[in-house]
A and B are shown apart, each in its own frame.
Chain A
Amino acid sequence: MRATVLVRPKAGILDPQGAAVETSLRHLGFEVAEARVGRVIDLEVAETDAVRARERVDAMCRQLLTNPLIESYEIELQGHA
């Protein structure tokens, strides 16, 4: 099953990349109140059951894919949004 993990800097945490992107967008004339830069991780997991797949991906997020001190995450399973 295909899973996508969206990793974001937690709200309130300084995001230097987002701040740089925001400034650049303003320089280009776009009206942007805020930009935050995160990360997308696409996974193909060896699970057909959606509940089990989500559990496995959640464990991956907690162990390796994210640092809970500064990042939050969302898991999207293909066809099970």
Chain B
Amino acid sequence: MSDRPRIGVVTFPGSCDDRDAVWALKALGADAVRIWHAEPELPNVGAVVLPGGFSFGDYLRCGAIARFSPVMDAIVRFALDGGLVFGICNGFQVLCEARMLPGVLRPNESLSFVCEDVDVVVEQSDTPFTSRCAPGQSLTIPVKHGAGNWYADDALLAELEANGQIVLRYRDGQNPNGSVANVAGVTNADRNIFGLMPHPEHAVDPLLGSGDGALLLASLIDAARLSRPALV
């Protein structure tokens, strides 16, 4: 166990929020280490963050090419072993394309890039990513994306709802992208992989508008601290 759990932040070609993620994790008490996408193995970490950005230019479909980066094989093995994976925006898109998370992210219904603060409601607080939140708590966190329109068909959505895998929802009337059922963030069935469109790493200090994102990242850090010992 370590006071400052080590958390890896992956950089793909085209990632742009990796440094903010590193900064936020460090500010919140983690030892954040950067991992280049071409690495075939992960260093000893208690969690991995896939950051926002435009990996591989978002060509073909957002996240579709990054999922074949060498580090993704290592992340799949890490996750199968119970490792914590946290995908933000483009990271969420990569995890969906890799089928590590359910659903897919389509271009926004408006066809416009959105960049604004939104309110999201915590639907599930018994996950490693929301443990510091209360059920039903509202968080103000910015979104900035062109393809955040999460989609699952009716059968898949019903299954996810029943399993409690819908973790974050946009507050009614604030859905910025047209996502099905106002979904803003989901987990896998085992609840060790999480993806969300809002950017918690941009909301860790009230000076920047909101500190609410810190609750999600601090939850992750708590879980990473317990998950496995970090190297000193």
Q: Which residues of A contact B (CB under 8 A)?
A: 13-14, 16-17, 20, 64-65, 67, 69-70
Contacts and interface: CB of A to CB of B under 8 A. Distances in A.
Nearest to B64: A64
Given A16-B107, A64-B64, A69-B153, 14 more contacts: A13-B151, A16-B106, A16-B108, A16-B109, A16-B110, A16-B111, A16-B178, A17-B107, A20-B111, A64-B65, A67-B61, A67-B97, A69-B104, A70-B106
8 A-B pairs with least C-beta separation: A69-B104, A16-B111, A16-B109, A67-B104, A70-B104, A16-B107, A20-B111, A67-B61
B123 to A, nearest CB: 22
Contacts, number: 33
Nearest to B68: A64
A2 B157 CA distance: 39
B109 A14 contact: yes
Interface in B89-135: 97, 103-104, 106-111
Nearest to B110: A16
A69 B60 contact: no
Residue from A13, A64, A67 whose CB has the most chain B CB atoms within 10 Å: A67
A17 B111 contact: yes
A24 to B, nearest CB: 12
A65 B64 CA distance: 8
A16 B65 CA distance: 23
Interface string B138-170: 000000000001011100000000000000000
Nearest to A12: B153
Nearest to B156: A69
Contacts of B64: 64, 67
Nearest to A70: B104
Contacts of B107: 16-17
A13 B109 CA distance: 12
A8 to B, nearest CB: 14
Contacts of B110: 16
A28 B208 CA distance: 45
Contacts of A69: 103-104, 151-153
